[in-house]
Amino acid sequence: MRLGLVIDLDVCVGCHACAIACKEWNASGTIGPLSDYQPYGAEPSGVWFNRIRHFEMDEYPNNKTVNFPMSCNHCEDADCVTVCPTGASYKRAEDGIVLVDQDKCMGCNYCSWACPYGARELDRSSGTMKKCTLCVDRIYDQNLPVEERQPSCVLTCPAHARMFGDFDDPDSAVSRVVRERGGYGLMPELNYNPTNQYLPPRRKPVIEMSGAPKGGLKESIKQFANRLVRR
Amino acid sequence: MHPAFSVIFFTVASGAGFGLFSLLFIADTFKLGGGFERDQLVAGGLIAMALVVFGLLSSTFHLANPKNAWRAFSRFRTSWLSREGVFAMIFMPLALIYLASIMFDAPLWLREISGFLTAVLAWITVFSTGMIYACLKTIRQWNTPLVPANYLALGYASGSLLLLLGAVISGLDTMPYIAMSALIVAIAAVLKAIYYFWIRDPGLSPTINTATGLTRAKVKLLDTGHTHGTFLTQEFGYRLARKKAGLIKTLVFVIGFGLPGLMLIAVFNGESGQFAALAAALGGLIGAAMERWLFFAEARHVVNLYHGAQRC
């Protein structure tokens, strides 16, 4: 099994609900707590497994805002695991989830240096490295209804921009949508082989803009005034 | 990258210690300049080992959870950080055997074999230190074979200058030590110059386009999504003005390579030899520390692409 996420950049509205749900679940999960520093102070900061950035592609009038959620990519060739000197970082053979054993981590930060995606964050109060667990304490929980055995971020997404599944199964929903929509992994040139896939924004029909001004006396006075005014 | 003082001190001190110890073995084997006395050799070896031990101890200060530091020896097969620790730990008993065989007049074969193995392990350990950084694909300025070469050259350069100081204090013929220092410092300077030349050009490095996969148009960051700094911005967000970097590079060459070179001439001419040798050794160490600071400060991690950098 190769479990991971698909994130639809065409659908994501950038509401940060996935990040909040992630924090809520994992703060009391196997790897919790996720410490906050000065949460109500002047410089609020803290540990998050999921962060949403906002990018703009192309320029006006063809520009588009792309909301960009990022968490651990659970890479196939995860350098964060190979560089770890203590054996705290490991990749599970059965489902490919990359985890940090909190009892072994010595907080040297080396794995975070090796991660190009910024998935790992040091918890300064426990002194250990923390990262997305793909909600490993949830997806196998027999006490939950089957449809709820998914990562918190996926369940909460109001736009259905996130999907969870097995990429080794060519007929799984995630494999199919990646095939159909041309999904891709980030920074392929570094050869980490990230499991998580991103679906590119769809091409939208171009909306016609009014071209030449209408003409007439009112319009020419306006243009004359515009030339006079110094801005 | 955020330049952590403990790591800078560790790499400079342990590099000099490993360099000093292996060059001490060479000086002993070939009786350079008449050869050190028994007590002088042992004192020199202990100073080198002290540099290594203090360096290793200082490196644990940057750990957030040092109680697990002993586990760092366990992933020897994959991690260069683990390998460095293991090699340093094998170095220690071998170095003690070598020093003991000098102290107690052990048979020559034991002295030579333990000394040779110690020197080889010192080399391997400094190489491993360089590889900790050179193996990271995420930092273009580090992912080059010049990095372990620089670590080795600078460690041996500062070690050779310390050895020269020892030779001057012990009243040996300084000629072979001057020659050795001049050669190693010159090699270190040339390698560092090539490194600085090499990292000027971004080459084939990730861009904001490959980082987001939006490769068909210009991409720019609108919002990082966090209110204040995060671990990522604190660890990787360090930025150094190009002018300041240029100034420090000049200082590295003037203080780290130029000053020791001039002082070598002074020692050669016999003008206040002890002071000149001390100035050369201090210059070499300060230059190496500045070089190490810059090595971290100039490194740009690719995660900065998600915080506004266009390319790394």
Reply yes or no on whether the pLDDT at A67 is more than 70. yes
Mean pLDDT of chain A: 93
| pLDDT at residue A200 is higher than 70 | yes
Residue with tokens 């020896």: B73
In terms of Cβ atoms closer than 10 Å to its own Cβ (0-12, 13-18, 19+), residue B104 is exposed
Lowest-pLDDT range, A106-115, A190-199, B33-42, B268-277?
B268-277
Give the pLDDT mean for B24-47.
94
Show Cβ contacts of residue A41 under 8 Å, excluding neighbours closer than 6 positions.
Answer: none
Strands A128-130 and A45-46: unpaired
Instruction: Look at residue A207 and tell me if it is in a domain.
Output: no
| pLDDT value at residue B98 | 97
Identify the domain containing residue A83 by its residue range.
Answer: 3-199
Give a yes or no: residue A206 inside a domain. no
* pLDDT at site B45: 96
Q: Assess whether pLDDT exceeds 90 at residue A209.
A: no
Residue A178, chain B, CB below 8 Å: the answer is no
CB contact under 8 A, B136 and A79: yes
Interface of A with B in 203-222 (CB under 8 A): none
Contacts made by residues B69-74, CB under 8 angstroms, sequence distance 24+: B69/A106, B71/A85, B71/A86, B71/A87, B71/A88, B71/A104, B71/A106, B72/A85, B72/A86, B72/A106, B72/A108, B73/A85, B74/A85, B74/A86, B74/A87
CB contact A202 to B (< 8 Å): no
Residue A124 CB contacts under 8 Å (≥ 6 apart), including other chains: A35, A37, B64, B231
Which residues of chain A neighbour B230 with C-beta distances below 8 Å?
A: 45, 48, 51, 121
Q: Could you identify the residue written with the tokens 């001390």?
A: B278
- Domains, chain B, ranges and CATH? 5-307 (1.20.1630.10)
- The pLDDT value recorded for residue A213 is 65
pLDDT value of position B227: 87
- pLDDT for B97-138, tens place per residue? 999 999 999 999 999 999 999 999 999 999 999 999 999 999
Per-residue b/e over B173-188, b at no fewer than 16 CB within 10 Å?
ebebbbebbbebbebb
Q: Please indicate, yes or no, if residue A225 is contained in any of the structural domains.
A: no
**pLDDT surpassing 90 at residue B272:** no
Average pLDDT of chain B to the nearest whole number: 95
Number of domains in chain A: 1
Give a yes or no: residue A19 inside a domain.
yes
Given the structure tokens 């201090």, which residue do they identify? Answer: B282
Residues in chain B: 312
Is residue A138 in a domain? yes
Could you give phi then psi for residue B296, rounded to 5 degrees? Answer: -80, -45
For residues B220 and B306, give the distance between their C-alpha atoms in angstroms, rounded to a whole number. Answer: 10
Is residue A177 one of the residues assigned to a domain? yes
Rounded to an integer, the average pLDDT of B182-197 is: 97
Question: What CATH number did the domain enclosing A189 receive?
Answer: 3.30.70.20
Which of B68, B211, B235 lies nearest to residue A187, judging by beta carbons? B211
Q: Is residue A151 in some structural domain?
A: yes
At B144, the pLDDT band (50, 70, 90 cuts) reads very high
Taking the C-alpha atoms of residue B9 and residue B129, their distance in angstroms, rounded to an integer, is: 13
